[in-house]
Structures are given as C-alpha cells and as structure tokens.
C-alpha cells in the first residue's frame, strides 16, 4: 500500500525554490534598470553633443572665422529677457575683430509660431545692424512655414543689413500687416513671428544694458565704437 502522507521536506524545498526565483527576478530587474539607465545617459549625452555641434556650426556661419574671432568657451551670460523668449538668464556670444567687440550673436525664441516655438540665432553689430539670421529649430508646417529654413528658401537673407532705421520701426512687419517683409503664400503666422522677434531683438540691443556683461578689458573698446 502506497504511503500518500506529505513529505516533510517538500515545504522547505518549495520555499527555497521560491526565494531563489524572487532573488533571480530582483537581480534581473536591477541589471535591466541599470542597462536602461546607462543607455538613456549615453543617448542623452550623444544628443547633447550633436546639438552642441550643430549650434557651433551655425554660430561660425554667422561669425565666419575669416572675418571674426569667436571663442565658444567664453559666452556671455545675460539677464532674463522675456521679449527675446528667455524667462531665465541666457547665453549669447560675442565675436571680435582684432580683439575688439564687433558682433553679438543672440539666441531668440519666437513663442508665437504656428505649431510651437521657433528658435533662431541673430547676429548684429554693436551699431544694431543685422549681419545674419539662422534657424536653429522649429516645428512649422512642412511645405509652408518650414520655408524659414535656409535650405528651403532665401527668405532669411532679407534681414541682412536691416536695423531699426532700415526700415523704420513701423515697417518692421510682414507686408500683409503693412510692413516691408515678405510672407509666404498660404503662411503668414510663421514669418510674422520671426519678423516680430527679430524686431524685438533690435530694440533690446538698442538698450545697450547687455554691455555691462562684457568681460573686463573689452568694455572701453565697446564704448569707443558707440
């Protein structure tokens, strides 16, 4: 007759197996979490590096090395300027010619784009004349608003040489609003946002308060140019 009574060693064996399974799952979860975190960290660093390289390329296109000296390791930290799209202190760059300040490159964010923020860089001399404008990033409609990109059209080139006196302040608007600047067929909101934020950057530059942030040794030369 077969003995069907419970094996007294079966319960401890089951508990031991369960414990080992739980420990294995915990170790697996920890390793997986570590791998995911490391991957995210490396991806974030790669993205940041690519963004920095892309921005550097744009900066040097606005301040060509055959005309200006531009040290990206010595940026200007400027106070918050909501009119430029910065509610916190932000970083700009100062380019020199023969050691004298010649060009300020400002990051701008137009908050009133058609589908979101439009991030730009504008370069202007210390007399408030624009030397160049480049788009850094945007989410405007393909085939319409995205024509602000230099690879899509020459629209941004119309700003070179412009200032608050060329044209007059009242003409700093798209033609649909009675101003001088072209808009796109079927897209007015995007160019309007860009024109307006560039106009605000000229008004901000005219205030000249940013020059207080210029490193010592350059201030006198800036004043001499005014």
- pLDDT tens readout for residues 153-165: 999 999 999 999 9
**Does residue 88 share a domain with residue 56?**
no
Question: Where in the sequence is the domain holding 103, given as residue range(s)?
Answer: 73-225
**Does residue 126 share a domain with residue 219?**
yes
**Does residue 83 share a domain with residue 57?**
no
**Does residue 214 share a domain with residue 141?**
yes
**Does residue 106 share a domain with residue 84?**
yes
Instruction: Of 149, 123, 106, 119, give the one whose Cα is nearest residue 63.
Output: 123
**Does residue 112 share a domain with residue 42?**
no
Tell me the percentage of the chain whose pLDDT exceeds 90. Answer: 50
The structural domain count of the chain equals 2
Q: Is 120 a domain residue?
A: yes
**Does residue 144 share a domain with residue 48?**
no
pTM above 0.75, yes or no: no
**Does residue 96 share a domain with residue 47?**
no
Q: Is 26 a domain residue?
A: yes
Q: What is the 3-state secondary structure (H, E, C) of the chain?
A: CCCCCCCCCHHHHHHHHHHHHHHHHHHHHHHHHHHHHHHHHHHHHHHHHHHHHHHHHHHHHHCCCCCCECCCCCCEEECCEHHHCECCCEEEEEEEECCEEEEEEEEEEECCCCCCCEEEEEEEECCCCEEEEEEEECCCCCCCHHHHCCCCCCHHHHHCCCCCECCEHHHCCEHHHCCCECCECCECHHHHHHHHHHHHHHHHHHHCHHHHHCCCCCHHHHHHHC
Task: Read off the tokens for 82.
Answer: 């909501």
**Does residue 150 share a domain with residue 39?**
no
If one compares 43 and 219, the residue with the highest pLDDT of the two is 43
**Does residue 115 share a domain with residue 210?**
yes
**Does residue 130 share a domain with residue 58?**
no
Give the pLDDT of residue 185: 83
Q: Is 67 a domain residue?
A: no
**Does residue 90 share a domain with residue 48?**
no
Which of 109-118, 134-143, 206-215 has the least mean pLDDT?
206-215
Compute the average pLDDT of residues 35-44: 67
Q: Is 68 a domain residue?
A: no
Q: Is 2 a domain residue?
A: no
């Amino acid at each position: 007759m077969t003995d069907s009574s419970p094996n007294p060693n079966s319960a401890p064996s089951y508990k031991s197996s369960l414990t080992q399974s739980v420990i294995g799952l915990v170790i697996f979860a920890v390793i997986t979490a570590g791998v995911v975190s490391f991957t995210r960290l490396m991806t974030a660093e790669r993205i940041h590096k690519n963004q920095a390289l892309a921005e550097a390329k744009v900066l040097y296109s606005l301040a060509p090395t055959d005309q200006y000296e531009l040290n990206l390791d010595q940026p200007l930290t400027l106070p918050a300027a909501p009119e430029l799209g910065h509610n916190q202190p932000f970083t700009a760059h100062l380019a020199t010619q023969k050691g004298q300040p010649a060009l300020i490159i400002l990051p701008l964010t137009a908050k009133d784009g058609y589908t979101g923020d439009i991030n730009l860089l504008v370069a202007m001399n210390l007399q408030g004349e624009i030397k160049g404008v480049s788009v850094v990033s945007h989410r405007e409609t393909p085939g319409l608003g995205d024509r602000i990109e230099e690879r899509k059209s020459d629209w941004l080139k119309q700003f070179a040489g412009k200032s608050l006196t060329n044209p007059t302040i009242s003409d700093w608007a798209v033609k649909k609003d009675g101003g001088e600047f072209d808009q796109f067929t079927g897209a007015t909101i995007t160019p309007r946002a860009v024109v307006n934020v560039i106009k605000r950057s000229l008004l901000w530059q005219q205030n000249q308060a940013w020059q207080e942030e210029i490193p010592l040794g350059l201030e006198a030369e800036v004043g001499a140019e005014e």
